[in-house]
Amino acid sequence: MNKKEKVNYIIKTLNDIYPNPPIPLKHKDPYTLLISVLLSAQSTDARVNIITPILFERADNPYDMVKLSIDEIKEIIKPVGLSPMKSKGIYGLSKIIIGKHQGKVPQNFTDLEAFPAVGHKTASVVMSQAFGIPAFPVDTHIHRLMYRWNLSNGKNVLQTEKDAKRLFPKDLWNKLHLQIIFYGREYSPARGWNINKDIITKNIGRKSLLK
């Protein structure tokens, strides 16, 4: 199976399994999504979805968020981990959104990645899921599967993102990155991996069990 055939098979299989993949993080607008994605770093979506309702009850917009102190934010978000860095980031980006962007989350990578505690992956998620702008956020699941599927060399997530964007049609990026995440969690995990359950990897050939 060549790369084009692999890509077509992956797209068809994922569409069969996940025709309408939901956005994993609960949110109501670009701001609450941005905060949720920031909180998800080195945490789980499930844990973030437990904590964000508590935080957003106090502050679900930048104007209310800056009324809280960094220590108050830190105390609320402590269960998701990295709370000292994340609380400073949430407070800091909220001030910038108010001061530079009229209270609205900007719709471009340059401004998003200029926010404290916001990297390229977080910006990509916001661009794709909040604004519908084509992006391909690469998390550990996508990075692992692109390597297992012999579609990327596995050296770093930036290379994986470039390879994914080169191989998959642009109009599918926003849906596809969610489909691959769900597939990785359910069928092709890093630990306890069962090749017989992982039908995509089994059918297109695997590169390594280590990624």
Catalytically annotated residues? 121, 139
Q: For residues 186 and 188, what is the distance between their CA atoms, to the nearest angstrom?
A: 6
Is residue 168 within 8 Å of residue 145, measured between CB atoms?
A: no
Q: For residues 16 and 152, what is the distance between their CA atoms, to the nearest angstrom?
A: 24
Neighbours of 156 (CB within 10 A): 12
By CB neighbour count within 10 A (0-12 exposed, 13-18 middle, 19+ buried), where does 72 fall? middle
Q: Which of 114, 155, 112, 153 is nearest to 135 (CA)?
A: 112
Is residue 39 within 8 Å of residue 45, measured between CB atoms?
A: no
Q: For residues 199 and 152, what is the distance between their CA atoms, to the nearest angstrom?
A: 19
Q: For residues 4 and 1, what is the distance between their CA atoms, to the nearest angstrom?
A: 8
Neighbours of 160 (CB within 10 A): 23
Is residue 146 within 8 Å of residue 163, measured between CB atoms?
A: yes
